[in-house]
Structure 1
């Protein structure tokens, strides 16, 4: 039987975890507010909805973690909810990132048909199916228990954590490569000054952001693997909160439009290249000047001239 004597005040680790959670909640709320401040339903497209979903899942996870961290000592219910928060909100944010990267690959390939009429897009969406199996493993092979000193311990067993580690790393690396390859092909084949174009700046941002996301996610899941399913609940929740927050910051950086215009080495940009750069950067960012999104949102938006017929994956 649990008595009042069993309840102790928060230790240094708990206080640190709460401070980190509060900071992350503030950052995530500010990012979500900045992205939706001037956004209207008619200007939303599928990619923008994915970004907002990512922000929402990440904020929900951070907020849930902050509450759970303060209540999980000697509380098996709170401990269980912490594990479920990792399973649902954290996994939801990962799915949103995967879908967002797949959408970016589709945009850069500049196909002239709808998404599900392209073999590449259908193949990439099918690559999300293994995550369903991994999610089931996460729900099945996990540890949730209270230590003798009252601390909550949670974690994934190796049968669930190792597939998650391998899948997360390989899938993110693969999608990043698919995105960078056609952009670099455009740079080699274009007559414009590639390094001064909007697409080059976007490609450079995406490369940096992808490396950061890969590194943070890999280290986080690796820590889960090394713990073999026995990690203090607040440590696991705090690490995952930092993971999703850093991912949101990098995605926010990539999807924030740059007001400067790309120009050629001769001081100007041709009309065709200007149209291509403006269309692609508007699709990939929250550029409020984009006129292609003045129609109601739908999964397959209006088709425009692509980056070039010679681009392939």
Structure 2
């Protein structure tokens, strides 16, 4: 009876967890509204759809976590749903994030080829297949139970958590390297002063910073699961994953932020880049951000109708 009465009211960890979840839900909803403001269907490309899907899956996870955190004490159904939310929405956001990084790598390395015509893109797509195995491990080797006090405990056993940690870290690091390398090579073949003032250089720098942040946050999150052997209190596990997906989305939001208007008004912006031969670089940024494409820019080896409209 004492334990039951203690769990009727939320403890301090539950209050903190719910507050964090509400903040994250609000941040994601605000970012989604800002990203879609003024957008039309005709401007939606494959890369932009991936960004919006990332927002949607992350918001769904945070919203679900907010509800489950407040109901998982003495409730095995809510506890199980919390683990299922991680398997569906959290894992889904990770896969979408991988696909988004692959799209960015394709845009800066194989601009003349369609996706399925590129051997590198097909190879990268194949790299997503092992995640199906990891998802199977997550569904098989998991912990879901209630303690004698009624606290919900969820997590992944070593068979799943270690594989997930290695795969997530290695794939993110590999894709980030492939994206940054060709952008830096562009700078080596052009004037360093002009290159450092281009939007593509700023985009490369932002992507590198964002990737490092996402790598560290995701690595720490999964490492915690490994250290605790998958026996975390449900609200702690859900809160850490909520912060993880929110940080990922906000860094992607920062990287894909529309800066075209600012660049047009600043020295060394779009107009200057057109005069100095950096049209190619600035056109590429339009596919990798939510900037409107400028029909006045005509670059033969980039403007293939099937690729630009994808």
Residue equivalent to 1:76: 76
2:157 matches 1:157: yes
**For residues 62-211 of structure 1, what are the structure 2 equivalents within 5 Å?**
62-191=62-191, 193-211=194-212
Q: For the residues of structure 2 that align with 1:182 and 1:264, how far apart are their CA atoms?
A: 21
Partner deviation per Cα, 1:170-215 (whole Å, 9 max, x = no partner): 0000000000000000000123621111111101100100000000
8 Å Cα contact 2:74/2:150 also seen in 1 = yes
* Aligned residue among 275, 282, 296 for 1:278: 282
Shift of 1:60: 0.1
Q: For the residues of structure 1 that align with 2:187 and 2:215, how far apart are their CA atoms?
A: 25
Residue equivalent to 1:42: 42
Structure 1 SS opposite 2:145? strand
8 Å Cα contact 2:114/2:306 also seen in 1 = no
Structure 2 SS opposite 1:260? helix
**In structure 2, do the counterparts of structure 1 residues 185 and 302 end up closer, same or farther at CA, with 3 Å as the change threshold?**
same
Q: For the residues of structure 1 that align with 2:25 and 2:200, how far apart are their CA atoms?
A: 32
**In structure 2, do the counterparts of structure 1 residues 4 and 156 end up closer, same or farther at CA, with 3 Å as the change threshold?**
closer
8 Å Cα contact 2:110/2:118 also seen in 1 = no
Shift of 1:263: 6.1
Shift of 1:112: 1.0
Q: For the residues of structure 2 that align with 1:134 and 1:53, how far apart are their CA atoms?
A: 21
2:213 matches 1:218: no
8 Å Cα contact 2:73/2:150 also seen in 1 = yes
Shift of 1:268: 3.7
Residue equivalent to 1:255: 256
Higher relative contact order (CA 8 A, sep 6+): 1
**In structure 2, do the counterparts of structure 1 residues 227 and 71 end up closer, same or farther at CA, with 3 Å as the change threshold?**
same
Shift of 1:273: 3.0
**In structure 2, do the counterparts of structure 1 residues 44 and 95 end up closer, same or farther at CA, with 3 Å as the change threshold?**
same
Higher helix share: 2
Q: For the residues of structure 2 that align with 1:155 and 1:110, how far apart are their CA atoms?
A: 40
Residue equivalent to 1:308: none
Structure 1 SS opposite 2:273? coil
Shift of 1:279: 1.2
Shift of 1:281: 1.0
**In structure 2, do the counterparts of structure 1 residues 264 and 69 end up closer, same or farther at CA, with 3 Å as the change threshold?**
closer
TM-score (norm 1): 0.89
Q: For the residues of structure 1 that align with 2:42 and 2:239, how far apart are their CA atoms?
A: 37
8 Å Cα contact 2:198/2:278 also seen in 1 = no
Shift of 1:76: 0.1
Gaps of 5+ in 1: 293-299, 305-313
Residue equivalent to 1:242: 243
